[in-house]
Structure 1
Amino acid sequence: MNYLWEQWLTNLDQVRFVLQALDIALVLLLSYVVLVIIGEKRTLWMVRGLIFLMLAAALSKFLGLALLGFVLDKLVIGSAVAMAFMLQGEFRRLLELLGQGRVWELLSPSREAMPQPDNVIDEIVDAVKELSQNRTGALLILEIDKLIDERDFTVPGVRINAEVSKELIQTIFQTSTLLHDGAMLVRGSRVAAAGVILPISERVASRQLGTRHRAAMGITERVEHCICVVVSEETGSISLAEGGILDRPLTSSRLRSILRSKFSKSVDREAVAPQLRSLGRRLGSLGVNYVLRLFRLPSSSPREKK
Structure 2
Amino acid sequence: MPWLSINSVVIWLIVDALFVLLLVYLILALSSDRRTLLMVRGFIILLIVNILSNRLGLQLLSFVLDKLLVGAALAMAVIFQSELRRFLEQLGRGDVLSLLSPVRSRRAYTIAPSVIDELVEAVVELSQNRTGALLIVETSEPIEERDFPVPGVRINAELSKELLQTIFQTSTLLHDGAVWLREDRVIAAGVILPLSDRAASREIGTRHRAAMGITDRIRACFCIVVSEETGSIAIAENGNLDRPITSARLREILEEKFASPAPTTLVGTVPRFDKLWKWVGLGKILKRKSSLKK
Q: Please tell me the TM-score bracket, short chain as reference.
A: 0.5 to 0.7
**Map of 1:216 onto structure 2:** 211
Name the stretch that deviates more: 261-270 or 94-103.
94-103
| Distance in 2 of aligned mates of 1:155 and 1:180 | 14
| Distance in 1 of aligned mates of 2:197 and 2:21 | 38
Picking from 22, 26, 37, the partner of 1:33 is: 26
- Structure 2 runs not aligned, ≥5 long: 1-11, 38-75, 91-95, 273-294
Over 3 Å counting, the alpha-carbon distance change for 1:120 and 1:154 in structure 2 is same
Shift of 1:104: 3.0
Please report the TM-score for the alignment, with normalisation by the length of structure 2: 0.60
One-letter amino acid matched to 1:191: V
Picking from 263, 268, 280, the partner of 1:267 is: 263
1:141-152 to structure 2, matched below 5 A, reads: 141-152=136-147
Over 3 Å counting, the alpha-carbon distance change for 1:266 and 1:103 in structure 2 is same
The CA RMSD over aligned residues, in Å, is 3.8
| Distance in 1 of aligned mates of 2:77 and 2:231 | 37
| Distance in 1 of aligned mates of 2:78 and 2:251 | 33
Alpha carbons 1:113, 1:143 under 8 Å: kept: no
SS of alignment partner, residue 267 of structure 1: coil
Shift of 1:111: 6.1
Is 1:202 the counterpart of 2:197? The answer is yes
Give deviations 1:224-249, integer Å, cap 9, x for gaps: 11100000001000000001111000
Over 3 Å counting, the alpha-carbon distance change for 1:94 and 1:115 in structure 2 is farther
| Distance in 2 of aligned mates of 1:185 and 1:121 | 15
Over 3 Å counting, the alpha-carbon distance change for 1:179 and 1:29 in structure 2 is same
SS of alignment partner, residue 30 of structure 2: helix
| Distance in 1 of aligned mates of 2:126 and 2:86 | 47
One-letter amino acid matched to 1:118: P
Question: Which structure has the greater CA radius of gyration?
Answer: 1
1:41-120 to structure 2, matched below 5 A, reads: 95-96=80-81, 103-105=88-90, 107=98, 114-120=109-115
Shift of 1:122: 1.4
Paired residues, number: 211
Alpha carbons 1:142, 1:187 under 8 Å: kept: yes
| Distance in 1 of aligned mates of 2:32 and 2:240 | 23
Alpha carbons 1:140, 1:184 under 8 Å: kept: yes
**Map of 1:124 onto structure 2:** 119
**Map of 1:155 onto structure 2:** 150
Q: Percent identity?
A: 57
Alpha carbons 2:77, 2:84 under 8 Å: kept: no
One-letter amino acid matched to 2:189: A
Give deviations 1:34-58, integer Å, cap 9, x for gaps: 5743679xxxxx9xxxxxxxxxxxx
One-letter amino acid matched to 1:239: A
Over 3 Å counting, the alpha-carbon distance change for 1:122 and 1:104 in structure 2 is same
Alpha carbons 1:161, 1:193 under 8 Å: kept: yes
Give deviations 1:246-277, integer Å, cap 9, x for gaps: 1000110100101111223122269957xxxx
- Structure 1 runs not aligned, ≥5 long: 1-18, 41-45, 47-90, 274-306
| Distance in 2 of aligned mates of 1:172 and 1:158 | 11
Over 3 Å counting, the alpha-carbon distance change for 1:259 and 1:269 in structure 2 is farther
Shift of 1:203: 2.0
Picking from 231, 234, 246, the partner of 2:241 is: 246
Over 3 Å counting, the alpha-carbon distance change for 1:23 and 1:241 in structure 2 is same
Over 3 Å counting, the alpha-carbon distance change for 1:23 and 1:220 in structure 2 is same
